[in-house]
Amino acid sequence: MTTFDYDLFVIGGGSGGVRAARIASGEHGAKVAMAEEFRMGGTCVIRGCVPKKLMVFAAGHGAAIDDAAAYGWQVEKGRFDWSKFRAMMDAELNRLESIYTRNAEAAGVTIYHQRATVADPHTVRLADGREVTARHILIATGGTPFVPDAYADTGAMTSNEIFLMDQMPGSMLVIGGGFIACEMAGIMQGLGAQVTLMYRGAQILRGFDDDLQEHVAAALVSQGLNLEVNTDLTKLERLEDGRFRATCTQGRVREYDSVLFATGRRANTDGLGLAEAGVTLGKGGEVVVDAYSQTNIPSIFAVGDVTDRIQLTPVAIREGHAFADTVFGGTPVKPDHTMVASAVFTRPEAGTVGLTEEQASAEGPVEIYMASFNPMQSSFIKAESKALMKLVVCAETRRVKGCHIVAPGAGELIQLAGVALKMGATKDDFDATTAVHPTMSEELVLLRKPTRSVAKTG
């Protein structure tokens, strides 16, 4: 019988990898090691969800000060102090990183704070030259943003670097139209920068529900953001003073203090030795896996963004947990990728779960229940901050197939709606639920008449 140094070796110390390691070791008694070449916590804790949400909170306070004045408070609004905020944010990330490390070690996981690559289906090579063997190898290296090759040497930022800025820019060009681009553009606008969001497509947030897209776009514009769709960058120059000169497809030439590319992410598989070990990779370098996160090489598995399934931290955690239960717990578990709720932290936030109107109508006839209104909190002070509540309902079964919300706190609201939709709630269930008044969310149970009916389009 072959003897291995470890039962499991995890490459990548992010949310998915840490969960898999902790469950395999702490709950199932496996001998587990992990390697992380940068910082424990991965994209979410160090370069994504957590610092971004802290910036969302910071950006929201500027508008809150204005609202407070409109409500009668005597307030004086100053400038945002980036250096103070960044110091606090760095301290918080350090705290969270240490928690990730302590929790993994407390579960019995050995951590190698260095890069690791795959030498063969059962061998991992560490950066210091050592090689260790493992019965199973889990790839959990996540994804990374990138600057397109044509502009790679200009000094433009990605979402990784924005948290490391030395100072707040006065103006910023954000390239992209996905949720990261929209969030970062809204954050920087809220913190006081003049922001242009440039996207080559017809509307931002491609893949989200059409009404949600339009609602978020209108909100960003109403806050002073310069939104340019059907527009792309054709030239980007770094000037002697460190600023940028950008030329777009419309022929406009403008200068900005900083430029941020949010044009997509790719799997972190370069140089990992996966292809050499025989692992099948997709066109974008993502690791191809089956329903149990297993690659074509039986001893090698992968979870999280590196597999390019659903790029969300809670999904990676579910995948990591399911992997550990399947391989070490004796209980085969497939991670469930249906009815996954998510949020876009613009201002106001957008929350979505289930199918878009377009996706649902491709499966059969649907009824759309929708309300767009100015909530009491903003209408009282004559502020324009419209909310959107939308339900996509199967016309035949009455099951609610999608829920889409744009409103303050939509991320919190959609989590609760996600429970109902996951359980298979029907429109009649929503109708039978008593409203909580006065709230924005009561509209979800007060939508009695369909806004429109849509025949099957597929």
* Residues 168 and 123 reside in one and the same domain: no
pLDDT at 292 > cutoff 90: yes
Per-residue tokens: 310: 């659903």
Domain limit, last residue, from 262, 294, 314: 262
**What confidence score (pLDDT) does residue 1 get?**
60
* 1 occurs within a structural domain: no
When mean pLDDT is compared across 55-59, 242-246, 452-456, the lowest value belongs to: 452-456
* 221 occurs within a structural domain: yes
Spatial contact of 137 and 298, defined as CB atoms under 8 Å apart: no
Spatial contact of 173 and 234, defined as CB atoms under 8 Å apart: no
* Residues 315 and 346 reside in one and the same domain: no
User: Angle 423-425-427 (CA atoms, 0-180°, nearest 5)?
Assistant: 170
* Residues 116 and 152 reside in one and the same domain: no
Q: How many domains does the chain have?
A: 3
* Residues 271 and 316 reside in one and the same domain: yes
Residues 6+ apart with CB under 8 A from 71: 380, 381
Based on the residue annotation, tell me whether 404 is a catalytic residue of this protein.
Answer: no
pLDDT at 235 > cutoff 90: yes
* 390 occurs within a structural domain: yes
Q: Residue range 10-33: average pLDDT?
A: 97
Our measurement of the distance from residue 330's CA atom to the centroid of its chain's CA atoms, rounded to an integer in Å, reads 32
pLDDT at 453 > cutoff 90: yes
* Residues 271 and 141 reside in one and the same domain: yes
Binding-site residues for FAD sit at 53
The helix or strand, by DSSP H or E, that contains position 174, with its residue range, turns out to be strand 171-175
**What confidence score (pLDDT) does residue 307 get?**
96
Pairing of β 349-354 and β 400-407: antiparallel
* 235 occurs within a structural domain: yes
Please give the Cα distance from 212 to 283 (Å, whole number): 30
* Residues 302 and 389 reside in one and the same domain: no
* Residues 275 and 230 reside in one and the same domain: no
Of the residues 28, 61, 337, 437, only one is catalytic, namely 437
Domain limit, last residue, from 215, 231, 262: 262
Question: Using DSSP, how many helices (H) and how many strands (E) does the chain show?
Answer: 12, 22
How many CB atoms are located within 10 Å of the residue 305 CB? 31
**What confidence score (pLDDT) does residue 343 get?**
97
**What confidence score (pLDDT) does residue 384 get?**
81
The CATH number given to whatever domain includes residue 31 is: 3.50.50.60
Amino acid residing at 388: L
Identify the CA nearest to 402 among candidates 330, 341, 317: 341
**What confidence score (pLDDT) does residue 2 get?**
75
Q: Within 13 A of 99's CA, how many CA atoms are on the CB side?
A: 10
Binding-site residues for NAD(+) sit at 176-183, 264, 305
Q: Percentage of residues in the chain with pLDDT exceeding 90?
A: 97
* 334 occurs within a structural domain: no
* Residues 119 and 152 reside in one and the same domain: no
pLDDT at 87 > cutoff 80: yes
* 251 occurs within a structural domain: yes
390 burial class (0-12, 13-18, 19+ CB within 10 angstroms)?
buried
Please give the Cα distance from 40 to 50 (Å, whole number): 13
pLDDT tier at 414 (50, 70, 90 boundaries)? Answer: very high
* 428 occurs within a structural domain: yes
The CATH number given to whatever domain includes residue 391 is: 3.30.390.30
Amino acid residing at 130: R
* Residues 324 and 276 reside in one and the same domain: yes
* Residues 129 and 27 reside in one and the same domain: yes
State the residue for tokens 């109708």.
431
Domain limit, last residue, from 328, 351, 376: 328
Q: Percentage of residues in the chain with pLDDT exceeding 70?
A: 100
**What confidence score (pLDDT) does residue 433 get?**
97
* Residues 140 and 11 reside in one and the same domain: yes
* 234 occurs within a structural domain: yes
Predicted confidence (pLDDT) per residue in 347-390, tens digit: 999 999 999 999 999 999 999 999 999 999 999 999 888 999 99
Pairing of β 265-267 and β 143-145: antiparallel
* Residues 312 and 359 reside in one and the same domain: no
Q: Residue range 3-13: average pLDDT?
A: 97
Could you tell me the residue range of the domain that residue 57 belongs to?
6-145+266-328
Predicted confidence (pLDDT) per residue in 94-149, tens digit: 999 999 999 999 999 999 999 999 999 999 999 999 999 999 999 999 999 999 99
